[in-house]
Structure 1
Amino acid sequence: MQPDTANKLRGAYWLKPPRVAYEAKGIAPDAKENRFYYYRLAVRLDEPSSLRLSISANTRYRLWINGQPIGSGPLKGDRWRHYYETLDVSSSLRAGTNIFAVQVWSLNTYMVNDSTSSDQPLYSMTSLPIGPRLAVAGTCLNEAGETLADLTTGKADWQVMADDAVSFYSDDSYTIFMGAIAERVMAMQLPEGWKHAEEPGGTWFAAEKGDPCLGRSDPYPYYIVPQLPLLERPVPLLYEENRPFVREMPIRQDDLQPFCFPSLSAADDEVQIPPHTHAVVELDAGELTTGYLFYPLNLGEGSRIVFRYAERYFQRDDIKANAVRDDAANGVILGMEDVYDPSGRAEIYEPFWLRTFRFIRIEVRTGAQPLRLRRPWYRESAYPLEAKSVVASPESWVEPLWKVSLRTLQMCMHETYEDCPYYEQMQFIMDTRLQALFTYSVGGDIGLVRKALEEFHNALLPEGITQNRYPSAMVQIIPSFSLHYIDMLYDYYWQTGDADTVRRYRPTVDAILDWFDRKIGDSGLVEQIGYWEYIDWVAEWEGGMPTAGKEGPSAIHNLMYASALRTAAKISAATGRSQVGEEYEERAKRLMSRIERLCWSEERGMYREGPAFEQYSQHAQVWAVLSGLCDGDRAKQVLNRALDDPKALQCSFSMAFYLFRALEKAGLYERTAELLQSWVGLLSLHLTTLPETPTEPRSDCHAWSALPLYEFTHCMLGVQNTRPGWQALRIEPHTLDVREMSGELSTPSGIVSIAWLRTDTSFEVSGKVPDGIPFHVRWGDKIDRYYPNGGAFRESIQLNAKSMEGRK
C-alpha cells in the first residue's frame, strides 16, 4: 500500500468545536470521554451541480445530505494511517438549500487500554485523544466547471454542537466484546431536524479551524508525523442498500401484548400503541445481515423503547442448545439492546453504528401519550464482494451450503475482514488467512487481502512477534497466528504472482521465525512460548491451548513452526533469496527430526501432544503431514488413526481447513465426505450463515466456517493452481458421494468452467480453460491428459473398461 501522491484534503483544515460549544453542554474542553458531535453546513445552489467530496473525521463519522444517509468512515486505520474517503455525491444535490450533516463519534483510544473497560470498540485506533475533528474538501461545480460553492473545512461556514442525548453502555453478557457499543438515547435532547432542516433545533456554534490536513506525502515541519497522517481509502466503499423485514414472529409471552404492523410492504404502514401499555413485536430480516436501522416514530413522550438485536432464537431452557434458529415458539431473542426515550415529536431513530442481526425485538412501554410506530427498515451494508464463481448440483445440499457459506463470508467483510460481525468485528490473522482463500475461491475483489497483509505487517511488535488481531487499540498476542501470516503471504503470491508485494513483507516473516527460534529449549523444541497459546477450540484444552504446552514443548506448535519455516523457504526462493530459503529448510529438518524422536508413539501409531505427554489429537497428525514430517503410506496411516480413534481430540471448524488439506495431500480426500456432514447437518437448523463452532456456537456468522467455498471449487470441481498467478492449472475432481456437479471458478487468468457426471459405469468431465493457459485433466489413475494451450476439453472413461485412455 503506497502513500498518497495527491492528498485530496490538501487545503482543508481539521475542524473542532470551540470552547463555548463544550461549555454550552457542561463539558470540559479537555474531557476524554467518548461522545457524539454534530457538524452541519447549509449550501445554496441555484443550478444543477456536481460534487466530489473528500471527507474524514476523528474517530468515526456518518454523513447525510438533505436528510439522506450517504455513508460512513473513515476506513479503519492505525496510528500511521488515517484514511479519508472521496465520494461523488452529485445525485444527492438539489436546487435550493442543501444541508450537509455529519455525525462524528469522538473516541478515546486510551480508555480501551483498561481491560475492565468496554465502553468503546477494541478495533478503534487513533493517534491521540485529540477530540472530535472533521475534515471536508470539495467544490460544487456547474456544467461549465465554474465553482458555485466551496465546502472545504477552514473556508466554509461549518457549524457544530456537542451531544448530551446519547450515552454508551455495555454489559458482560452481550456487549463486552462488541464491535458496536449499545446506545441510550434521550431524544428530547437531540437537535430537532439537524440532518435536513434549514433552521434546526439546538444551539450551534461556528466550528473552529485547527491544524491543516496533511497527507503522508505532504511536507510538514521538521518531518514530524502529523497526528492524523492522511491516506486515501485503498478499498471500495461499503455498499448500502435499503431492505425490508420479511415477516413478524409469533410472541409467546403471556405478560406482554403483541402488536403488529398492518403490512410489512407499505412504507407508510403505522401502528399506534395506546398509553400505559407494555407491548412487543419481533421481526425477521429473512437472513443474518449487517446494516443501519431506521425506526420512524411519532408522539410517545414518556415512553421507553428497547430495540434488541439477535442472530437467532435461543431455547428458553438451554440457551447453548444448537437449535432451529427461527423457532420462535420455543425460543427467545437475547442480545445487545439500544434504549430510546422518544421526544414526542415526529422523528427517526438511526443507531450510529451498523448492527448485526437476523431478528430484532421492539419492546415498548408507553406513558401517558400514545406512541405511533411506522414499520422499521434497514440499509444492509458490507464490503461489495462480487462472487464470480458459481457451483451447481442436483444434490439437495450442495447449492444451499454454497449459499450460506458465501453469505457468511460476505457478512464478515466490512472495512477489514472480521472474525464475526456480531461481537468483536476485529481482524484476526488465522481467520483472515482462511477468509482470503475463500475470497480467492469465489473470484472476489482482493483489496481487503492486500490491506490485511499490510496491517498485519504493521502489527509486528519490537520483540519480533505480531499482534494476533489488528487494527486493535489493545495489544493481544497468539503466537501461532503469526505463523498463519506466513501462509497467508505465500497464498497471495500463489494466487497473484505478485513477488514485489511478498518481498515487501519478507522482514516480517524473518522476524516471526527468529522469534520462534529464540524459544527453542534444551530439548531442541520450541517451548514456554508464553502469551495465549491458542490452537483450536477443543473442549479438553483450556482456552484452546494444548495441555502439553503447560508441561513442556507442544508438538503442534513445533510442527506448525516447521511448516512455516518450509513455507518461508518457498517465499525466499520466489523472491531471490535462495540461500535464506536453504537455511529455513535446514532449520525445519532439524526441528522435525527432534519431533520424530521425542513425540512419535510406535504403540499408538501417532504423534503425542508433547514428549512423554500421552495425549493425542487430530491436530498433531494433520501438521505432521502438512509439514512434510510424514508422507506416503505413513501419512495415510496417521490420519486414518486420528479420524478413527475416538480418543483422539478432534479439529473444530477453525482447524477443519488444515484437516482437509492434510487428507488431500495424503490421498485420502474421500474421507472428507463424512466430515462435510457437520456442515450439511446445519442446514436443518435454518441457518443463513455458518456458526463459529458446529455444536455450541457463540457466533452464528464466523467466516472460518465457510470452508465449502474452497472445497466445492478447488477439490470437488477440482480446479487447482499449479503456477503462481494461475498461469497453469490442474483439473482433478473429487466426486465424493456426489453424482453430478458443474460450475465456474473465476481466476486471475479468466473463468474456468467445469462439469462432471459420475454413474456406476462411467465418469465424464468437460469444460473450458482460458486460451493459452496449459492444464492437466486427471481423475484418479484413470484419466491423465495434458492440454498445452488451454481451450475446451472433454474426457470420459468406462469404469469397467481395461483401457485407461479417455476420449476427447
Structure 2
Amino acid sequence: MRGFFRNVILPLSLYCLMIISVSAQIRLAGYQQARINPELFQHHWAARWISVPDAPNNAYGVYHFRKSFDLAARPEHFYVHVSADNRYKLFVNGKLVSLGPARSDPYNWNFETVDLAQYLKKGSNLLAAVVWNFAEYKPVAQMSFNRTEFLLQGDTAAEQVVNTDATWRCVSNSSYSPWQKPVYGYYVAGPGESLNAQQYPWDWEKSTFDDSSWPQAHMGLPAATKGRRDYPGRLLVPSPLPPMEMVQERLTQIRLTEGLEKPSSGFLKGKKNLTIPAHTKVRLLLDNEQLTTGYLSLQFSRGKDAEIRICYSEALYSDSLTHAKGHRDQIEGKFFVGYEDRVQADGGSNRDFTSLWWRTYRYINLLITTGDEPLVLKDLFGTSSRYPLQQETTFSLPERKDLQQMLDIGWRTARLCANETYMDCPYYEQLQYFGDTRIQALITLYNTRDPWLVKNALEQGRQSMVADGLTMSRYPSNLHQFISSFSLLWLGMGYDYYRYRDDAAYLKTLLPAHRQILSWYEQWLKPDYSLGYVPNWFFADWAGSFDYGEPPREKDGDSAFQDLLYLMSLQMAAELEQNLGMPALAQHYQTLQTNLKKAIYQHYWNPEKGLLADTKTQRSYSQHVNALAVLADVVEADQAKQVMQTVLSDRSLTQTTIYFRYYVNQALSKAGLGDLLLDHLQLWQEQMKLGLTTWAEMPEPSRSDCHAWGSSPNIEFYRIVLGIDSEASGFKKIRIAPALGTLKQASGSMPHPAGTIKTQYTLNAQGKLTARITLPSATSGTLHWKGKTYPLQEGPQVLEL
C-alpha cells in the first residue's frame, strides 16, 4: 500500500462505458461511448466469480487477489470489466486504476470498464486487487449478495488471459478488523478500520512480492449480465457513471499539540518527518479549514507496537447534552467526538495506511502512543473522492459580494454530497434519500451539463419500488424504509428532468412507475377526493413543531400538506402523460386534481387569517402548507401574493428549516414576490456566521454539517434573481424573468442543452432596465419585466426597457 494514493488523479479516459440498447433491462446509457463486446450481453462470461478458498460467506473480511501474465508487446488498448462484492480496488503493476463497483443492488450489479493499456508493458505484468466485505458492519447504503467475490473479464480474446479463474492466487488478510467508535446521532456509514501492521502482507500489489504460498482462487459461478435466463447470481450491468474525481488534498494547519512540541509546518506539506519519541503519548489536532471527503493516507516507519488512532470529525463540540458545536473555527473549550481508524505499527520501514473507504472530515484528531521505539511519521494527506461534477455557471452581483460566498458554500456542499449516488450527508449516512435528491438533481441540472448522476438517481428510485407501488425513501439501501411523501418527490424529480433536459425516450420509461405511485395514493382517497390516512412516514421537514418531521395529521389522515403534495404530483403527471404517454390517463389525473383542489380550498382555507390551515380543525398553520398551496395554484394572483407576504411576516406560523425553504422561495417567485428573495436569506447567513463551510442539516444544534438540500440558492440565484427558467419540455423555450429587488447590476450564465444562456442587467437611476441576453442556437424565449412580455431569439440581443 506504500504510496497508494500519492498524486493520484484518475482520468475519465480510463473508465470506458457503452451506450447500449442490447436489452430492455439496461435502461441507462453510459456516460460516454466505449468498448464493451456485444457478446458479453448475449452469453455467460468466460470469467468466473472467484473467492478465497474456505472464506466464510457473509462475514467481515479483507482479501487479496493477484494474476501475473506476459505480453509480447504493449497493446494499444486492453479493456477489462471488473466488479466485486462488496468493494474492490484494482492495481496494475502497482498502480491504482479502478475502484468500485458503483453502489447498486444485486439485480442491477455494476461493473466498471477500464482500459489498462497505459499501465501495461512488454513482458511480465501484474494485476492485483483488494476486495473487502464488511458483512454485518457494512454501510446501510451498501447492498450485497452475501458472498465475498471478485470478477474480472477481458473484453475480447486478446484480453481474456486475465479472466478471473483458478489461475489467480489469493489470500485472506487477517490484519484487518472492524473498529467502531460511537458518534452523536444516527450513523450508518460503515465501520472504521483497525489494522495490525505485523500481519499485513506489505507490497502485495507489487510485482516483486512472492505469492507462491498463496492458494489458487476458488471458482464460483460464471458471470452474466442482466437478462440471462434463470441466472442465480448478481445481474451485471455497466456502471452508468464516470469514475470519481480523486485529487490530493493537504491539511492546512496543526491547531493543538499535546505531549510534543508543535511540529513545523513542513510535516503537513510532506517535506519534513515528524518523530514521536518512545514511551510517549501525543495528540495532534489537525484542521483542513473546510469540510472534505476523501481517503486519508498515513506514511510512517519504525515505532514497533505503537498505536496510531486517526479520528475524523466535521466539527468540535461545545456541549455534550445539546450536541451544539458553536463557531466551527473555534477550538477553545471544545471537545472531539468522531469515528476512527486505528493502526498498530510493526516497526517496519515505509509503511502506508490508506483507508479502504473514504472519510469525511474537517478536523483530524491524531492520537499516538509509542512503545519502546520512536515512530517516524513521514507524511499525512488526503485524496478527495467525489463525483466529477464540472460547474458551468457564472454569477456576479457587485453590490452583494456575500452572495458569491453563499454560492461557493452551496457548491461545495453539493459536491461533497455527490459520490456514486447523491447522498443526504457524507459523514453520517451516505444514503440517497429521494426528497433530498430532488433538490440535488436540480442543482446538477442548473450548474452542469452532466446527465448521468441525475438519471442514475431516477433509475435507482424505480429499482427500489415494491409491489405495493411505492419507491423506498432511500436507495440503494440494505435497510428498507418508506417515506410516502418521497415517492411523490421522486416523481417530481422526473418532471424536473423533463423540463430541463431533452430526453423523451428515457422519460417515457419512467411513466409506468409514476402510474404505480399515483395508483397507490388513489386507493386512500375519500369521497370528497382528499386523502385519508396514508401509511408510512410522511416526512416534510425538521420543523420545530412537527412530530419527527411529520406535519400535523388528524386521526383520519386529514392533512393539507399530504393533499397538496399529492395534488402537485397529479399536475406534473398529467402533463407528462399528455405529452409523452397516455392522454386518457392525463384526463383522469386532471379530473382528480380538479376535485382535490376544490376540497383543499374548502377544508383548509381560513378567510379571516387569509391562510390555509394544516388540518380541517384549523388549529395550526405553517409556512409549508401555504407555500405548497401557491405552487399548486390553490391560491393564485393577488391572493397568492397576500398569502406569501403573510408567510414571510407571521412568526406564529410553523417555520421552515433550510430544506423546505426551497419550496417557500419557489412560491415567492410564483406569487410575483421574487424581488424579496435576497432579503430573506437569514437561514444561510446564520450558518455563515457560525463558520460553516458546507450547509448543515438544520439550524444549530445540527447533527450533520453537510446536507445538500440546503444548497437551493445554487438554483434560485439563477432561476429567480437572474430569472432563467424553462418554459417548455426539454428547455426548448426559455423564460427570462429577473427579480433584482434593490440591485442595480447583476449578471450570470448557466448551461443549456443547446449551449449557454447569458444574462446581464443594469438599472439606471430612473429605473430603466438594460438587459443583455444571449440564447443558444435553435432556441427562443421571452423576457418578462414589470408585467410585460418581450420576445427573445437565439443569439445575443440588447433590450432597453
* Aligned partner of residue 484 in structure 1, secondary structure: helix
What is the CA-CA distance between 1:675 and the residue it aligns to? 2.1
- Distance in 1, matches of 2:561 and 2:677, equals 22
What is the CA-CA distance between 1:667 and the residue it aligns to? 0.9
Contact map agreement 1:258 1:280 (CA 8 A) in 2: no
What is the CA-CA distance between 1:312 and the residue it aligns to? 2.1
Equivalent in 4, 7, 11 of residue 46 of structure 2: 11
* Aligned partner of residue 361 in structure 2, secondary structure: strand
* Greater alpha carbon shift after TM alignment, 525-534 vs 548-557: 548-557
* Unaligned residue ranges in structure 1 (runs of 5+): 23-28, 112-118, 141-145, 797-805
User: Compared with structure 1, are the counterparts of its residues 542 and 98 closer, same or farther at alpha carbon in structure 2 (3 Å cutoff)?
Assistant: same
- Distance in 1, matches of 2:325 and 2:641, equals 33
> 1:402 — aligned with what?
407
1:287 aligns with 2:290: yes
* Aligned partner of residue 521 in structure 2, secondary structure: helix
Contact map agreement 1:310 1:336 (CA 8 A) in 2: yes
> 1:633 — aligned with what?
638
Q: Deviations over 1:503-533 (max 9, x none)?
A: 2111211111121121234665323222212
- Distance in 2, matches of 1:584 and 1:7, equals 43
- Distance in 2, matches of 1:600 and 1:784, equals 33
- Distance in 2, matches of 1:542 and 1:171, equals 29
Residues 309-324 of structure 1: pairs in structure 2 closer than 5 A: 309-315=312-318, 320-321=323-324, 323-324=326-327
User: Compared with structure 1, are the counterparts of its residues 54 and 148 closer, same or farther at alpha carbon in structure 2 (3 Å cutoff)?
Assistant: closer
> 1:162 — aligned with what?
172
The residue identity in structure 1 corresponding to 2:189 is: G
User: Compared with structure 1, are the counterparts of its residues 383 and 675 closer, same or farther at alpha carbon in structure 2 (3 Å cutoff)?
Assistant: same
User: Compared with structure 1, are the counterparts of its residues 225 and 626 closer, same or farther at alpha carbon in structure 2 (3 Å cutoff)?
Assistant: farther
What is the CA-CA distance between 1:365 and the residue it aligns to? 0.9
Contact map agreement 1:275 1:370 (CA 8 A) in 2: yes
Equivalent in 94, 109, 129 of residue 67 of structure 1: 94
Contact map agreement 2:48 2:151 (CA 8 A) in 1: yes
The residue identity in structure 1 corresponding to 2:348 is: R
User: Compared with structure 1, are the counterparts of its residues 317 and 181 closer, same or farther at alpha carbon in structure 2 (3 Å cutoff)?
Assistant: closer
Q: Deviations over 1:382-403 (max 9, x none)?
A: 1111111121222221221111
Contact map agreement 2:221 2:233 (CA 8 A) in 1: no
The residue identity in structure 2 corresponding to 1:34 is: Y
What is the CA-CA distance between 1:320 and the residue it aligns to? 3.5
Contact map agreement 2:662 2:712 (CA 8 A) in 1: yes
The TM-score with structure 1 as length reference comes to 0.90
Residues 320-335 of structure 1: pairs in structure 2 closer than 5 A: 320-321=323-324, 323-335=326-338
The residue identity in structure 1 corresponding to 2:142 is: S
1:469 aligns with 2:474: yes
Q: Deviations over 1:76-131 (max 9, x none)?
A: 111211111111233333566543221111254xx4xxxxxxx21111113x32x2
1:180 aligns with 2:186: no
- Distance in 2, matches of 1:364 and 1:327, equals 23
* Aligned partner of residue 99 in structure 1, secondary structure: strand
> 1:342 — aligned with what?
345
Give the share of equivalent positions with the same residue, in percent: 27
> 2:148 — aligned with what?
132
- Distance in 2, matches of 1:711 and 1:498, equals 24
> 2:199 — aligned with what?
189
> 1:499 — aligned with what?
504
What is the CA-CA distance between 1:582 and the residue it aligns to? 1.4
Q: Deviations over 1:760-781 (max 9, x none)?
A: 3343221311233212222223
1:55 aligns with 2:82: yes
Equivalent in 153, 160, 164 of residue 153 of structure 1: 164
What is the CA-CA distance between 1:240 and the residue it aligns to? 1.6
Residues 669-748 of structure 1: pairs in structure 2 closer than 5 A: 669-748=674-753
* Aligned partner of residue 312 in structure 1, secondary structure: coil
The count of corresponding residues between Structure 1 and Structure 2 is: 762
- Distance in 2, matches of 1:95 and 1:270, equals 37
Contact map agreement 1:214 1:226 (CA 8 A) in 2: no
1:35 aligns with 2:61: yes
CA RMSD of aligned residues (A): 2.4
Equivalent in 384, 393, 405 of residue 388 of structure 2: 384
> 2:126 — aligned with what?
99
User: Compared with structure 1, are the counterparts of its residues 72 and 148 closer, same or farther at alpha carbon in structure 2 (3 Å cutoff)?
Assistant: closer
What is the CA-CA distance between 1:445 and the residue it aligns to? 0.4
- Distance in 1, matches of 2:631 and 2:159, equals 64
- Distance in 2, matches of 1:545 and 1:450, equals 29
What is the CA-CA distance between 1:431 and the residue it aligns to? 0.9
The residue identity in structure 2 corresponding to 1:299 is: R
The residue identity in structure 1 corresponding to 2:371 is: G
> 1:769 — aligned with what?
775
Residues 500-515 of structure 1: pairs in structure 2 closer than 5 A: 500-515=505-520
- Distance in 2, matches of 1:189 and 1:537, equals 47
User: Compared with structure 1, are the counterparts of its residues 450 and 295 closer, same or farther at alpha carbon in structure 2 (3 Å cutoff)?
Assistant: same
Contact map agreement 2:175 2:196 (CA 8 A) in 1: yes
The residue identity in structure 2 corresponding to 1:337 is: E
- Distance in 2, matches of 1:45 and 1:267, equals 37
Residues 406-425 of structure 1: pairs in structure 2 closer than 5 A: 406-425=411-430
What is the CA-CA distance between 1:148 and the residue it aligns to? 9.2
User: Compared with structure 1, are the counterparts of its residues 544 and 317 closer, same or farther at alpha carbon in structure 2 (3 Å cutoff)?
Assistant: closer
What is the CA-CA distance between 1:137 and the residue it aligns to? 2.4
1:356 aligns with 2:360: yes
> 1:78 — aligned with what?
105
- Distance in 2, matches of 1:726 and 1:7, equals 37
* Greater alpha carbon shift after TM alignment, 299-308 vs 550-559: 550-559
* Greater alpha carbon shift after TM alignment, 611-620 vs 37-46: 37-46
What is the CA-CA distance between 1:44 and the residue it aligns to? 4.8
* Aligned partner of residue 298 in structure 1, secondary structure: strand
Contact map agreement 1:310 1:335 (CA 8 A) in 2: yes
> 2:27 — aligned with what?
2
Contact map agreement 2:502 2:753 (CA 8 A) in 1: no
1:122 aligns with 2:149: no
* Aligned partner of residue 679 in structure 1, secondary structure: helix
The residue identity in structure 1 corresponding to 2:249 is: R
The TM-score with structure 2 as length reference comes to 0.90
The residue identity in structure 1 corresponding to 2:163 is: T
